[in-house]
Amino acid sequence: DAARRTEANPYPPEIREQLLPGIGLQVPLGCERDTRSGFGLFKLDLKTESENGLQFTTSGSANTESRKVTGSLETKYKWAEHGLTFTERWNTDNTLGTEITLEDQPAKGLKLTFDSSFSPITGKKIGKVKTGYSREYVNLGCDVDYDINGTSVHGSAVVAVEGWLAGYQTTFEVGRNRVTQSNFAVGYMSDEFQLHTNVNDGTEFGGSIYQKVNERLETAISLAWTAGNSNTHFGIAAKYQIDDTASFSAKATNSSLVGLGYAQTLKPGIKLSLSALLDGKNINAGGHKLGVGLEFEA
């Protein structure tokens, strides 16, 4: 993380983005993050880049339960001197997507994105305009979504002072003329410790603690509950870096679900991920999920 901080913004981008309470600060551990495949999936990713800077990303996955096979293709070109990025997407559902991003123009820290998608089969069209401004102690965002259900405006803000961060997020639906989401979060971040609490719509409460014990071991605890509901969700996770090329992670919840993950870099540009989700209440009954992921990058 320290290597990814800049003088203009000392906080890693994902920390600032994940503090937004609608997303929630995800515990930076566990099989979901370390295994690219996910539970119950067999996944293959291939990333290549041409000499002129054109990037190609191809992804395919097979769901072991639904037996559905999906694939996607993405091309990306960066025009660095003008801060422009052009992205084209296609998937096997025949959904076409186009994204144009302008970054650090006309002002440093400003990011503008125009995102659209179209499905020829259903005729569904979606358009998004995203704006963001990020400096040393503040991160502001305003997104506008256009689709057949109406127009929605999403606003968010995160401020940081001496390791403490506070974020607010709201959604306003223009057609209904009302606020449909109002979330708040507070967190603290250091190189070895992270604390996060959030309140969503005044009814959902959550918190998490992450600690980097040493260079190899990381641990985390998460807790969540809903007002008027006696059910509390609790989880613990740990990740152990075996060496520079391999890591093992484990996560358990109070629902008796146990997740295991193993990631291995076979050689530069080739990564293998294995995951398993076990139901502790029904060990002998089956229903467990496995995942395999293979990622190539050149």
- Over the stretch 68-116, which tens digit does the pLDDT of each residue have? 899 999 999 999 889 999 999 999 999 999 999 999 998 999 999 999 9
Cα separation of 205 and 60, whole Å?
Answer: 36
Model pLDDT, residue 39: 65
Q: How confident is the model at residue 17 (pLDDT cuts 50, 70, 90)?
A: very low
pLDDT of residue 21: 35
Shortest CA distance to 155 belongs to which of 134, 176, 169, 139?
A: 169
Residue 223 structure tokens: 């807790």
Query: In the predicted model, is pLDDT for residue 230 greater than 60?
Result: yes
Counting beta carbons within 10 angstroms of the beta carbon of residue 93, is it exposed (0 to 12), middle (13 to 18) or buried (19 or more)?
Answer: exposed
Burial status of residue 218 (CB atoms within 10 A of its CB: 0-12, 13-18, 19 or more): buried
Nearest to 128 by CA among 139, 117, 118: 117
Percent of the chain, pLDDT > 90?
A: 52
Residue 33 confidence (pLDDT) = 41
Distance CA 124, CA 97 (A): 12
**Cβ partners under 8 Å of residue 267, min gap 6:** none
Question: Which domains does the chain show, CATH number per domain?
Answer: 2-297 (2.40.160.10)
CB-based contact 139:13 (threshold 8 Å): no
| pTM attached to this predicted model | 0.76
Mean per-residue pLDDT over the chain, rounded: 84
Residue 269: what residue type?
Answer: G
Residues 151-188 have pLDDT tens digits of: 999 999 999 888 899 999 999 999 889 999 999 999 99
CA distance 154 to 143: 5
CA gap 59, 261 in Å, rounded: 20
- The more confidently predicted of residues 22 and 64 is 64
pLDDT above 70 as % of the chain: 86
pLDDT of residue 1: 43
Q: Read off the tokens for 58.
A: 């191809």
SS3 109: coil
| Reported confidence tier of residue 264, pLDDT bands at 50, 70, 90 | very high
